[in-house]
Amino acid sequence: MAEGGKARKEPADAGIEGSALQLGELSELLGYSLKRAQLRIFEDFLRCVAPLQLTPAQFSVLLLLDKNPGRNQTEIANTLGILRPNFVAMLDGLESRDLCARVRSANDRRSHILELTDKGRAVLARAKKLVASKHEARLNELLGPANRAALLSMLTRIAQEF
């Protein structure tokens, strides 16, 4: 067994066996970076707002309820791109934590008007502070305010006009 050259760990070949794979055209694919960045941002959001146990989706619901009082489930869900059936369980979660409430409408007894509770408003206020001071602040630090604004503008443009 002394003819050596195949037993160990193949140092004979080219030699990029270590780890670093070549991403190739993948690094030019916008969708790929977009997805990766989105996962990172959501991960950081969850971390920053962990004390309040709010997901990005839940936070967006609370924000929307605060800015749009008197709306029903369908209106809120549609605005956020959530399908009505899937919005039910989400509201159940928020309502069971006393962050919002379903109130039967007097005009149309089919619909539930959604309201923030006092606790919901308090949690939202704290969440806003955490997001601004930890999450978005970190982004500003990484990109700078001007770049951050440009990035937001382009993403909004894609979301709306693409």
Partner DNA sequence: CCCTATTTGATATGGTGGATAACAATTATC
Partner DNA sequence: GATAATTGTTATCCACCATATCAAATAGGG
Q: Which residues bind a second copy (CB under 8 A)?
A: 10, 19, 21-42, 44-45, 56, 60, 63-64, 66-68, 71, 75-76, 79, 81, 107, 128, 131, 135-136, 138-139, 142-143, 147-148, 150-152, 154-159, 161-162
Residue whose CB is less far from DNA, 56 or 143: 56
Is residue 86 close enough to count as binding DNA by CB under 7 A?
Answer: yes
Residue/partner pairs of 75-79 with CB below 8 Å, 24 or more apart:
76/114
49: Cβ–Cβ under 8 A, 6 or more apart, which residues? Answer: 59, 127, 130, 131, 135
Which residue, 88 or 137, is less far from DNA as judged by CB?
88
Q: Residue 37 to residues 1, 34, 44, 124: CA-CA distances in angstroms?
A: 51, 5, 11, 25
Pick 92 or 141: Cβ nearer a second copy = 141
Extract the runs of DSSP E, i.e. beta strands, from the chain. Answer: 100-104, 112-116
The minimum distance between CB 19 and DNA, in angstroms, equals: 10
Q: Which is nearer to DNA, 101 or 139 (CB)?
A: 101
Residue 48 and residue 42 in contact, taking contact as beta carbons nearer than 8 Å? no
Does 53 contact DNA by CB under 7 A? Answer: no
